[in-house]
Structure 1
């Protein structure tokens, strides 16, 4: 098959979850002798025309100059270019800034869209932006030949709201086998004597609930907040908790080896995401051997099941910090390792996409 991937800033990954996924999938498909192209922003650090056998198509992206609206222009440029390439399949990762151009997608190409999370529910957006995102979601459904849901919750939502079937294929991860305490020195913490969260500092990620609970517990142990805090909401959080020296805003950390070690050696890893599908950072936490306390919602429970504990309130967080069942650590960690290996391994995930593409093309 001749396959294109759009909707990312490009590969190799220098940004986030969809880029990481595109990297794994494109490499796998090339190894299976498919012809694969990935669209990259023109300012992507990797400027070659091929990567690991994958064709790289750079298109103009003005986001750095004009902000978020530049994503719409970049997606338009990618879609217009795709019209002359003769692709059998276009995999569209997300719909936020691309679905308004859906009418321009090539007529003879089958479009498969990963619908990502419920973007319009994100509280960081104004009411008008939320309304637009809901409209964009509707267009994403309309102009796709097949939908992919990366969580059972998203699959159910698409069926209930649009009466559309979708294929459930989650995000992927891998089990980490080797650990080292060396990186802990940089963060001035001791193994299992600190807790942490990794997230974009946004309200829907339960940041305040978690930090309120940490503040309430007053255990005297460090709590690492990993994520870009140089934002309006980040400034608000730093002001709110400046009285508590144990709550430490350390900024973004993008080295996966450091993140895996920090998660593994933490007392508790808090996962507060409330919106979206199979969150990549949750699977990474499972694969790194972290002891997880997650926000109690359908998305998280569908992944973790009984192999974690859950919170809804700051009192729940306080209770978990003080009373987390450490006798369950090995049981929870090993069960989550098994899940990653059997259900969420990258090899399994990317092979499911290949199977889906074969089915869609043959329809």
Structure 2
């Protein structure tokens, strides 16, 4: 197949999640014999190779203005003669939606990777935010398929527009035996610092993390990797909030050093909030680094209950104090998170993209929608607005796997969803059931739910169940209290908590 990837800075990947995804996916597809064309933006002083890891690179200029850089480059890309004979195109970023009709006029079917909720970013003014929201609508009307990299994003597009999505997450790099020889140059030692890696933007909560750290009793330094390409004022606020325990390293583009920083950190603090499966979070997960994350449905989809969460500086301080005080819990979270990261496999991601491109070439098109927002008010709070639908059916299920009984459940819920019934499926963690359910129109939420296993009959198992029940009490009580759904179905292994919480709250 001849596949084009459009709408990013291109490869080699030096900047963000899109570029990393293109490099990982494109190189794998090229290695399998597919012809992959990537449109790239030149960087002054950097080489412009014609090929990279088997991919063909086409370099085109872009206007050096934040609001026009991506659009100007994509405009040239969709008109370029190099697209002749392309079987399918992947366009990254819903902001590029105005150019989708040009691809379709050239006979090229297109899938749009919509990214996160860009209109929430404060760097965009009122006009920019309105533009992004309008382009979301245009993308669902003009694309043959929409790609969502997280259940929360698929949930958003389904609620807002009634649009179905292809759920394809990113992969996680699986880091092991990385070493720590580069840390000495920075005056750092393994397991003796906390780490933040993020662009300095308000939605990534770097300032709140630094404020919370400064207010904590932490004895380990906080290492902050990142910069603010468009916001000197925000960078200044972070610098002003820091004390002498905070190490501001700026941007680090040396991947070997960056991997060592992830792998050897005592904790990784992740403040990203505007949506999608975040590559920085997956890198920490793949390194098995205990994580303290901003509490959103997107981050919970990756971490589940194998980490700590925060929303305020005070909660950052509390979680850091907890992490430093309880090494056993910290190590447990790290091992559990690394195990979860195994589900994010780049080879599988490449398989999914190739299958989608083949489907597009064969004429696949998602069911058409008008593009009008039919369900305003969606949000990514841990208690989703999906639960506030009085006619919804909420199903609490203990396993994200797809074995015999899970498939029966999936088929049953799919039939309800197909008949127009609102179905909300809560699961304790991500897994194969999540993507299948999302594609079939079922709302999915990742929520803690203690599971009654056979091991609970042992003393250790009973203690574990009791601890899980205590930890899950608050989230489960909030779900029951905030849900106005008419029906709540509970799998037998989750009954103990739900009966207790239901009796207490109802």
TM-score tier, shorter chain, comes to over 0.9
Residue 226 of structure 1: aligned partner: 225
Contact 2:207/2:237 (<8 A) preserved: no
1:298-313 mapped onto 2 (5 Å cutoff) = 298-313=297-312
Distance 1:251 1:229 in 2: 9
Post-superposition Cα deviations, 1:57-94, rounded to whole Å, max 9, x if no partner, equal 2222232xx45423322110001116851211010111
Kindly indicate whether residue 271 of structure 2 is the aligned counterpart of residue 272 of structure 1.
yes
Residue 57 of structure 1: aligned partner: 58
Residue 114 of structure 1: aligned partner: 113
Task: Quote how far apart the aligned CAs of 1:111 are.
Answer: 0.4
Post-superposition Cα deviations, 1:237-263, rounded to whole Å, max 9, x if no partner, equal 21233xx11122210112222222222
Distance 1:184 1:348 in 2: 33
Distance 1:162 1:116 in 2: 16
Post-superposition Cα deviations, 1:200-236, rounded to whole Å, max 9, x if no partner, equal 1111112222122111114343111110157221012
Kindly indicate whether residue 48 of structure 2 is the aligned counterpart of residue 47 of structure 1.
yes
Residue 104 of structure 1: aligned partner: 102
Post-superposition Cα deviations, 1:320-355, rounded to whole Å, max 9, x if no partner, equal 2212242123332222222222x2111111111111
Contact 2:60/2:77 (<8 A) preserved: yes
TM-score, reference length from structure 1: 0.92
Q: Structure 1 residues 193, 24: CA separation in 2 closer, same or farther (over 3 Å shift)?
A: closer
Contact 1:154/1:277 (<8 A) preserved: yes
Residue 293 of structure 2: aligned partner: 294
Distance 2:334 2:81 in 1: 44
Residue range with higher mean Cα deviation, 180-189 or 118-127: 180-189
Residue 193 of structure 1: aligned partner: 192
Residue 16 of structure 1: aligned partner: 16
Residue 71 of structure 2: aligned partner: 72
1:211-290 mapped onto 2 (5 Å cutoff) = 211-228=210-227, 231-241=232-242, 244-290=243-289
| SS of alignment partner, residue 309 of structure 2 | strand
Residue 35 of structure 1: aligned partner: 35
Kindly indicate whether residue 153 of structure 2 is the aligned counterpart of residue 154 of structure 1.
yes
- RMSD of Structure 2 on Structure 1 (CA): 1.9
Contact 2:175/2:287 (<8 A) preserved: yes
Distance 1:82 1:57 in 2: 11
- In structure 1, runs of 5+ residues without a counterpart are none
- In structure 2, runs of 5+ residues without a counterpart are 365-506
Task: Quote how far apart the aligned CAs of 1:103 are.
Answer: 2.6
Distance 1:285 1:79 in 2: 35
Residue 328 of structure 1: aligned partner: 329
- Aligned residues, how many? 357
| SS of alignment partner, residue 147 of structure 2 | strand
Contact 2:148/2:169 (<8 A) preserved: yes
Contact 2:91/2:113 (<8 A) preserved: yes
Residue 351 of structure 2: aligned partner: 351
Residue 465 of structure 2: aligned partner: none
Post-superposition Cα deviations, 1:268-312, rounded to whole Å, max 9, x if no partner, equal 210111112000000000111211011111000011111111112
Distance 2:279 2:102 in 1: 31
Contact 1:91/1:114 (<8 A) preserved: yes
Say which one has the larger Rg: 2
TM-score, reference length from structure 2: 0.67
